[in-house]
Amino acid sequence: MMNRFLRTSLLLSDEKIKSLANSHIMIFGVGGVGGYVVEALVRSGVSKITIIDNDTVNITNLNRQIIALESTIGMLKVDVVKERILAINPNCEVNVYPLFITEENIDEINYDGINYIVDAVDTIVAKIAIIKKAKELNIPIISSMGAGNRLDPFQIRVADINQTKNCPLAKTMRYELKRREIKNVKCVYSLELPVELTQKIINPENNKVVIGSISYMPSMFGLIIASEIIKDI
């Protein structure tokens, strides 16, 4: 019988298909990396998705984010992602939290029934809060390290965060997690040394240097994360 997941079912066992259909995945951050995590999971048959992101689509997202179109600029990313999910699978249950995650508001989210957590945010404080909460609740988590300022997709790796190298973000996270005695955090990272930018552009909204990015690197990170979740469930 023809259905939207027929081709997936030819590759995966009946048990795996049922596991995906019964899984509830929570994704923090639905931009360059997280947007592709959601895309791959929904197209693989995951039937419950919770997404958390307070950001809006802006013009600089057009070079890499699957939800970024001229028509979506200015819209909340979680609203765009929800609409896209339901356009792929109207039967998918989608929960939305337009939040910037901190230690103070991490408990405002409902974690009941969550099978896996994805950390695809780019701020240290939020990443620590997310990983800490996942460990407290004993929910499997996978964390994305830095995809920015990199060009070589063949140097992307999956490893415990303590085995990472050449990634400044991962180095900081190793230090912060060690301080909190948090261990065994699976992550996706790149062995490639960050490209040194020839010019520095300051974002007037946060006064930080704009990180370079290219279309395929965040998507590769996101799709690899999705593949790890599908393997683990």
Q: Mind listing the pLDDT tens digit for each residue in 55-109?
A: 999 999 999 999 999 999 999 999 999 999 999 999 999 999 999 999 999 999 9
Task: Give the model's confidence band at 152: pLDDT under 50 very low, under 70 low, under 90 confident, else very high.
Answer: very high
Distances (CA, A) of 166 to 30, 52, 193, 195: 25, 28, 5, 11
pLDDT, residue 2, reads 74
Examine the pLDDT at 133 and tell me if it is beyond 70: yes
DSSP 97-128: E-----TTTGGGS--TT--EEEE----HHHHH
Instruction: Among 7-21, 135-149, 155-169, 193-207, name the one with the lowest average pLDDT.
Output: 193-207
* pLDDT tens digits, one per residue of 170-222: 999 999 999 999 999 999 999 999 999 988 898 887 788 899 999 999 999 99
pTM attached to this predicted model? 0.96
Please say if the pLDDT value at position 24 is more than 80.
Answer: yes
Proportion of the chain above pLDDT 90, given as a percent: 92
Q: What residues form DSSP beta bridges with 103? A: none
d(CA 224, CA 95): 23
Looking at per-residue confidence, does 117 or 2 come out higher?
117
Say whether pLDDT at 1 is over 80. no
Q: Where are the domains of the chain?
A: 13-232
Cα atoms in the 13 Å half-sphere on the side-chain side of 39: 18
Of 4-8, 49-53, 132-136, 169-173, the range with the lowest mean pLDDT is 4-8
Q: What is the mean pLDDT of the chain?
A: 96
pLDDT of residue 92: 98
Looking at residue 187, its pLDDT comes to 98
What pLDDT, on the 0 to 100 scale, is given for residue 62?
97
The SS3 call for residue 225 is helix
The pLDDT value given to residue 66: 98
CATH architecture of 13-232: 3-Layer(aba) Sandwich (3.40)
CA pair distance 151, 137, nearest whole angstrom: 36
pLDDT given at position 205: 76
Q: How far apart are CA 42 and CA 20, in angstroms?
A: 9
Distances (CA, A) of 40 to 35, 112, 145, 163, 225: 9, 23, 19, 26, 9
